[in-house]
Chain A
């Protein structure tokens, strides 16, 4: 038995296992990368190569039309993920006092009973950004 060579074309286990694995992989690749994308009528694929690129997830080159630049800035607020990382104790206390006003509409636990948006579960940075925008809008 020890003379039996495993990695050899005369070994039926080698041929069958590698053949079956490669066969399944090739059929799956053909179906997934070529056949199904081409079968989609609305995909607008020009060629087989296009189909493969699309199914493989290669980002498409943006269309040649130049994008229209926005005439105004949608938001002046700049936030980073670390902006709220080290709040002072007094800021937290002041915020808690101010937040009592919010509770009238948004609910004491952030679940609104008055058709105002629920705030429960919103990340702190989202609330912060909204307040910044509100402040800028007020200042105008």
Chain B
């Protein structure tokens, strides 16, 4: 959300409209997070991230989650309002790429959060407060899957914004193609949403046909990802050649490898490659059966989100921090160390997880009997992954230390913050690539096609509810 506000002010070159609302949204998110985490820390909401009905935790956990979602919706509205106001004052001008992508992320989140909101407000909370004692777990899981998968693209989009609009500028190059970037973001907006059922491949309440449809659209997500990898590599080649690199691979050597943003992007793409390959296995209906609900899945999303995405969040922080603090930010060597540690730690932690997943180690177990000889082959991998986790913790503390050192360094004039520009900066754009109405309409339409029947069917079927199981609740 903070990065979104920064993008809005920098790219639209005007103060944010609704600053008080933005603070209200931030406070709601902060209060909601604390409200949710207190019962979790007390062990009264051990229902995990996906809520897992018919398990029902302490009502305050769900109330906290609702506050977080409502707070984030304020951000969504503010992004829309600021974009609309700017367009009103600049009719026909191309929306700056970073802002366009940022708004795509906001609209994606606005719609995808609806699923979990419906689940909590209409299904879980009445049970958590004791007004009802049964819950349709299958339907609730479908609503959660509505949110569950697109939420990861909502997290991914800031990393992609950094690929497109920070990375080329930081290495002294230009974006290979501005419209290509826009197509990538709107493709995410349209097809990131109606694919969540691939999390429910092992669930009986969704028909195999709809699972297949969701699988097909999940596969299509590789399109914007491959567009991005092509465009980013082409942008890097532009930078390499501008810096004097020659020949088929000479431009690679000419890239500024000592620049933390360069390093972070390269490491991120490596992790994205491995994570994406694993993702193809997850989304394939048949292959999914061998890794469903195993530690493989935990390895996959840590590699993609904790690895490829979070390392770009570090890059964004390193890029923005001197402009926020107006101080010199010179610990470049430390930053490289931190990024390398993060990369190594993430690989050492998640690769063994993938392996033990294939061996059959379940994710989300309250208890492992490590004295069981059948589990012995998994022990070494689990120990190695712990080493990776320790490296990650060191890297995390190093990150904070670098930011603190940066905030106390000598004052300098850091100049205005700017995003990368394209080789051919657009003077005018087709209206489709400068607005969102078509893409939001397609997103909603496709959601109805892919989710409409399974939801409608379960809502009308009788006797699909199960007794709620209260976990550490007050019932």
Contact = CB atoms under 8 A, between A and B. Distances in A.
Interface string B409-429: 000000000000000000011
Interface string A38-64: 000000000000001011111100000
A56 B211 CA distance: 9
Interface in A97-124: 111, 118, 120-121
B437 A56 contact: no
Q: Which of B213, B217, B433 has the most CB of A within 10 A?
A: B213
Contact of B442 (A18, A56, A111): A18
B432 A13 contact: yes
Nearest to B370: A111
A82 B475 contact: yes
A6 B367 contact: no
B209 A6 contact: no
A36 B286 CA distance: 13
Contact of A13 (B92, B220, B371, B438): B438
Contacts of B453: 56
Determine the main DSSP class of B at the interface with A.
helix
Contact of A4 (B211, B430, B467): B430
B449 A25 contact: yes
Contacts of B220: 24
A32 B210 contact: yes
A32 B212 contact: yes
B430 A32 contact: no
Interface residues of B, number: 45
Contacts of B367: 120-121
Q: Which of B209, B432, B470 has the most CB of A within 10 A?
A: B209
Contact of A32 (B92, B191, B208): B208
B112 interface: no
Nearest to B216: A28
Nearest to A56: B207
Contact of B209 (A11, A17, A37, A59): A37
B432 A57 contact: no
Interface in B101-158: 133
B446 A111 contact: no
A7 interface: yes
B269 interface: no
Contacts of A58: 207, 457
Contact of A6 (B190, B211, B437, B467): B437
B374 interface: no
Nearest to A125: B469
Contacts of A32: 208-213, 216
Contact of B446 (A2, A25, A81): A25
Contacts of A24: 216-217, 220
A33 to B, nearest CB: 4
B468 interface: yes
B396 to A, nearest CB: 32
A131 interface: no
Interface in B361-384: 366-367, 369, 371
Contacts of A6: 431-432, 435, 437-438
B208 A37 contact: yes
B430 A55 contact: no
B232 interface: no
Contacts of A52: 209
A1 B428 contact: yes
Interface string B452-471: 01100100010000011110
B210 A81 contact: no
B91 A81 contact: no
Interface string A1-36: 110111100010110011001001101110111001
A21 B449 CA distance: 11
A111 B437 CA distance: 59
29 contacts: A2-B91, A6-B431, A6-B435, A7-B438, A14-B432, A17-B190, A17-B438, A17-B439, A18-B442, A21-B190, A21-B191, A24-B216, A24-B220, A28-B216, A32-B208, A32-B211, A32-B212, A33-B209, A36-B208, A36-B209, A36-B212, A37-B208, A55-B207, A55-B208, A55-B209, A57-B207, A58-B207, A85-B470, A120-B369
Interface of B: 91-92, 133, 190-191, 205-213, 216-217, 220, 366-367, 369, 371, 428-433, 435, 437-439, 442, 445-446, 449-450, 453-454, 457, 461, 467-470, 475
Given A24-B216, A56-B454, A58-B207, 5 more contacts: A4-B430, A13-B431, A31-B212, A32-B210, A32-B213
Interface of A: 1-2, 4-7, 11, 13-14, 17-18, 21, 24-25, 27-29, 31-33, 36-37, 52, 54-59, 80-82, 85, 111, 118, 120-121
Please give me the 8 A-B residue pairs with the lowest Cβ-Cβ distance, nearest first.
Answer: A57-B207, A55-B209, A32-B212, A13-B432, A33-B209, A28-B216, A32-B209, A56-B207
